[in-house]
Structure 1
Amino acid sequence: MTTVPSPRTWVVGEVVTAAKMNELRDALNFMLSPPLWELTHSGIISPATSTQAVMPMDTEIIDRDGGHSTSVNNSRYTSQTAGYYLVSGAVAFVSNGTGKRELTILVNGATETYPSSIPGLAAGFTGLTTSGRIYLAVSDYVELYVWQNSGGALNTNTTKGGPRFGGHWISK
């Protein structure tokens, strides 16, 4: 777990010590390398029709704060550092002109934020993106969910890369 450093308030006559300067160093290091993650899935996912489905993420491109596991609850990114995050997701479905496709971010499996929706396309792939600022306390988690109603299971399109799910810490 990373702790966001608090700025020091100096007082008149205070002696500068290595320990006090290290507080400044730690704050600068945090700002130069804040929590950041980018996840993807290596294969095709086939969500059922008319069912909200969580997107598994079995590959870490980067996970700077250790909030993701590829083996346990791999759809989740769990906050290790409290604060506001800019969270984003993207997924593409294969060609199918029936129904519509939706993509949304869920917080702690319940609170739906920043939904995105588009009709299915008969030619080419149907791509969706979503993003937004979300406050996460330590141990809160976010997941990417899809929904589609094509009439049957519908594959994700991997020719442009698999689904993406990422975020970065932006503020306390």
Structure 2
Amino acid sequence: MPLNTPRGYTYPEYPDTQNFPAVMQDLAQDIDTDVQARYNEIADSVEYPSVLIHKTVAQSIPSNTNTLLTFGTEVYDNDNMANLGVSNTQITIQTAGVYIVSGSVTLNGNGNATPAAAALIAGIPVGVSHNLDNDKSTCLSFTTLHSVTAPPQAITLTVRHNSPAAVNAAVAQLSATRIS
């Protein structure tokens, strides 16, 4: 009586009548079925909801003030999550599921010694902070998993710093991709 591996590949038991061509054909068919299933999963995932917006125009971030970043370019969006003409500060997740959300912002140095800065995402309890370089750009970035059970849900990227003078946010991006 044949047995199956955890992935469903059939193999004979020792006392079974041995028929090598039939066993090999059964193994080949099991592998084909398994590979096709994986291929279908990958092909289906290409259509998962996904969005990426970014900014390349400098935005002044005042000291000790939570500032929503504004975005100017929609790189891709296959689920109507970005409408920069209506709101250039957010993406809105439209479909329930688990998402990988990531964002980053590059802050230019302003000559002040080691102030701290933080980037936060509204709607998701995640953030990142780092001391700013006084003469070089500093990048704050994050990636997190986020479960959306009741869409629509808006996601924004907020920056705050405690430098004595304003800091420019030079480049930023915000993305969300459903993974299940």
Q: TM-score range by the shorter chain?
A: 0.7 to 0.9
Distance 1:74 1:30, change over 3 A: farther
CA contact (8 A) 1:104 1:130 kept: no
| Structure 1: 4+ residue segments shifted above 6 A | none
Question: CA–CA distance in 2 between the matches of 1:168 and 1:59?
Answer: 17
Distance 1:28 1:118, change over 3 A: closer
1:54 aligns with 2:63: no
Question: CA–CA distance in 1 between the matches of 2:114 and 2:85?
Answer: 34
Question: CA–CA distance in 2 between the matches of 1:117 and 1:133?
Answer: 18
Task: Return the offset for 1:29.
Answer: 6.2
Name the structure 2 match of 1:15. Answer: none
Name the structure 2 match of 1:152. Answer: 165
Say which of 155, 158, 177 aligns to 1:142.
Answer: 155
Say which of 146, 155, 179 aligns to 1:170.
Answer: 179
Name the structure 2 match of 1:37. Answer: 51
Task: Return the offset for 1:98.
Answer: 4.0
Question: CA–CA distance in 1 between the matches of 2:166 and 2:132?
Answer: 13
Aligned amino acid, residue 104 of structure 2: A
TM-score (norm 2): 0.71
Task: Return the offset for 1:47.
Answer: 1.1
Larger radius of gyration between Structure 1 and Structure 2: 2
Task: Return the offset for 1:30.
Answer: 4.3
Q: How many residues align?
A: 138
Please identify which structure carries the higher helix content: 2
Distance 1:29 1:156, change over 3 A: same
Question: CA–CA distance in 2 between the matches of 1:95 and 1:28?
Answer: 42
Question: CA–CA distance in 1 between the matches of 2:137 and 2:107?
Answer: 6
TM-score (norm 1): 0.74
Q: Which runs of 5+ in 1 are unaligned?
A: 1-26
1:83 aligns with 2:92: no
Provide the identity percentage.
25
SS in 2 for 1:51: coil
SS in 1 for 2:59: coil
Question: CA–CA distance in 1 between the matches of 2:125 and 2:93?
Answer: 16
Question: CA–CA distance in 2 between the matches of 1:28 and 1:123?
Answer: 45
